[in-house]
Amino acid sequence: MKIAIVCYPTFGGSGVVATELGIALANRGHEVHFVTYRQPVRLGLLNNNIHFHEVHVPEYPLFHYQPYELALSSKLVDTIRLYNIELLHVHYAIPHAYAGYMAKKMLEEQGIYIPMITTLHGTDITLVGKHPFYKPAVTFSINQSDVVTAVSGSLRQRTLEIFDIDGDIEVIPNFIDGKKYSTSFTDCQRTNMACDDERIITHVSNFRKVKRIPDVLKIFYKIQKEIPTKLIMVGEGPEKEGAERLCEELGISEKVIFLGNSNEIDKILCFSDLFLLPSESESFGLAALEAMINRVPVISSNVGGIPEVNIQGITGFLSDVGNIDEMAKNALAILGNDEILEKFKRNAVREAQKFDILNILPLYEDVYERAYKSRLKNA
Ligand code: GMT
């Protein structure tokens, strides 16, 4: 099939899922065309099956806001026509489903019918999308999509609660490519990061408020008082500066390493003993899943889709948002004993394997098949 994928090309989870999905589809023989404003960060070399089309938004000083949706929908119309694209898959309702709908309508005027699949990822619903300024447009674009998927049962439920949705929403969870990890390195170069007697704790995110970065540091503060530990903070975002200041205030700067954005998350997770994800809301928690497949247990909040990934008492522990004391206590229970830590590590990887792309890709292909049939009906 010839599929156009629209996503955010940045380090955010939705962009990662869209990119990895596109790569997997291309490996299965589909022709995949990414349409976005920059080449997605996880997209490596382009080939016969993977194409990238950049959306340019010409700057015009008269406009206070440059019209990205307009440029995106025009680029979609051109790309779909030029490459005879058969399906459009947009990740993130805002503004991609909206722009996708406009492209679909413009193409219909030219006698071309293109089915649109919209995948909801979380903040497009739970944070931004439900704002009264956006809600009517988000409701409309979801209802106009031929198939709608959400990345967890929890996100599906929240979407149905918040918006007036006409049709069904299918759940297709986030995934990881287990093959990548089964052949991964054995030398984690742990000694570059910590001494032999130190445990390594990791947090990976885009440092937005929703990730509760101060909680990460306060949990770590309590842990390091009890056992020798280092904290690795991976990512960039608005909360980073405040985090560096808080480390100084807490007197833990020497034990916290800020690494910035990284394309080598797996290498970092390879030498990690525990992952912290105390988010305010999280539709799935791809970062937790990536930790788990690398044998890293997770201490997280008990919100959104996280309980569908991090299993209480098995792969880690979940607590109410902001319950720093309990999160630190649970972390110490795992880190304080070699045998317990090993058991949690084994469990983490076993549970993560359930989300292997080999299990998830057929679910997307099934959705594509059904959407494609609707195309034939409408042709
Ligand atoms: O929160 C992020 O890290 C980025 C965000 C995004 O919009 O790209 O991630 C969302 O989508 C991911 C992929 O489906 C989910 O795993 C994350 O849980 C979700 N983030 C939130 O719901 C806050």
Q: For residue range 206-230, what is the model confidence (pLDDT) as tens digits?
A: 999 999 999 999 999 999 999 999 9
Expressed in angstroms and rounded, the spacing between residue 215 Cα and the centre of ligand 1 is 18
Q: Which residues contact 79 (CB under 8 A, 6 or more apart)?
A: 4, 33, 35, 53, 85
Residue count (the chain):
379
| Angle, in degrees to the nearest 10, between helices 338-353 and 286-293 | 120
Q: Please give the pLDDT value at position 42.
A: 79
| Angle, in degrees to the nearest 10, between helices 324-335 and 338-353 | 100
Give the nearest ligand 1 atom to 286 CA.
16
For residues 326 and 312, give the distance between their C-alpha atoms in angstroms, rounded to a whole number. Answer: 13
Collapse the DSSP code of 84 into the 3-class scheme (helix H, G, I; strand E, B; otherwise coil) and give the result.
Answer: coil
Collapse the DSSP code of 143 into the 3-class scheme (helix H, G, I; strand E, B; otherwise coil) and give the result.
Answer: helix
H/E stretch holding 203 reads: strand 199-204
For residues 138 and 194, give the distance between their C-alpha atoms in angstroms, rounded to a whole number. Answer: 47
For residues 344 and 321, give the distance between their C-alpha atoms in angstroms, rounded to a whole number. Answer: 22
Q: What DSSP designation does 8 have?
A: -
The residue whose C-alpha atom lies closest to atom 9 belonging to ligand 1 is: 13
40: Cβ below 6 Å to ligand 1? no
Expressed in angstroms and rounded, the spacing between residue 16 Cα and the centre of ligand 1 is 10
**pLDDT tens-place string over residues 275-285:** 999 999 999 99
Task: Assign domain 180-355 to a CATH class.
Answer: alpha beta
**pLDDT tens-place string over residues 126-140:** 777 778 888 999 999
C-alpha distances in Å from residue 199, one per residue of 128, 220, 281, 296: 37, 11, 27, 12
Where are the chain's structural domains?
Answer: 2-175+357-378, 180-355
283: Cβ below 6 Å to ligand 1? yes
- The structure tokens listed for 196 are 């032999």
**pLDDT tens-place string over residues 137-171:** 999 999 999 999 999 999 999 999 999 999 999 99
Residue 191, amino acid:
T
Q: Please give the pLDDT value at position 187.
A: 63
Q: Please give the pLDDT value at position 173.
A: 98
Q: Please give the pLDDT value at position 46.
A: 77
Burial class (CB in 10 A: 0-12, 13-18, 19+), 293: buried
Expressed in angstroms and rounded, the spacing between residue 156 Cα and the centre of ligand 1 is 14
278: Cβ below 6 Å to ligand 1? no
Q: Which CATH architecture has domain 2-175+357-378?
A: 3-Layer(aba) Sandwich (3.40)
269: Cβ below 6 Å to ligand 1? no
H/E stretch holding 87 reads: strand 87-91
Q: Please give the pLDDT value at position 63.
A: 87
For residues 98 and 145, give the distance between their C-alpha atoms in angstroms, rounded to a whole number. Answer: 9
SS3 content of the chain, % helix, strand, coil (to 5): 45, 15, 35
pLDDT in tens, the chain (379 residues): 999 999 999 868 899 999 999 999 999 999 999 999 999 887 877 788 999 999 999 888 888 888 999 999 999 999 999 999 999 999 998 899 999 999 999 999 999 999 999 999 987 787 777 788 889 999 999 999 999 999 999 999 999 999 999 999 999 999 999 887 755 555 677 887 888 889 999 999 999 999 999 999 999 999 999 999 999 999 999 999 999 999 999 999 999 999 999 888 888 898 999 999 999 999 999 999 999 999 999 999 999 999 999 999 999 999 999 999 999 999 999 999 999 999 999 999 999 999 999 999 999 999 999 998 876 666 6
Q: Please give the pLDDT value at position 85.
A: 97
Q: What is the pTM of this model?
A: 0.93
**What average pLDDT is seen over the chain?**
93
Q: Please give the pLDDT value at position 184.
A: 53
Q: Is 2-175+357-378's fold the same as 180-355's?
A: yes
Whether the Cβ atoms of residue 227 and residue 332 lie closer than 8 Å to each other: yes
**Sheet arrangement for strand 116-120:** 50-54, 31-36, 2-6, 87-91, 116-120, 147-150, 170-171
Alpha helices in 145-273 (DSSP H): 153-162, 178-182, 213-226, 240-250, 265-270
